[in-house]
Amino acid sequence: MVSLAKIRKGFKPIVLVSASPRRQQLLKQIGVPFEVCPAGIDETLPERVDDPETFAIDMALRKVKAVAKEFPDRWLLAADTLVLLGNKPLGKPQTREEAASMLRELSGRTHVVVTGLCLAKTDRKGRIRRCLKAAETTFVTFRHLTEEEIAAYIATGEPMDKAGAYGIQGKAAVFATRILGCYYNVVGLPLAKLAMMLKETGIEVSEFWRSSCHEIHETNLTGTPLSAR
Q: Which residues are catalytic?
A: 80
Residue 78, burial from CB neighbour count under 10 angstroms (0-12, 13-18, 19+): buried
Phi-psi region for residue 31, left (φ > 0), alpha (ψ -120 to 50) or beta?
Answer: left
Short-list 137, 159, 167, 178, CA closest to 49: 137
Q: How far apart are CA 199 and CA 2, in angstroms?
A: 9
Q: How far apart are CA 88 and CA 83, in angstroms?
A: 8
Q: How far apart are CA 136 and CA 125, in angstroms?
A: 31
Q: How far apart are CA 89 and CA 188, in angstroms?
A: 15
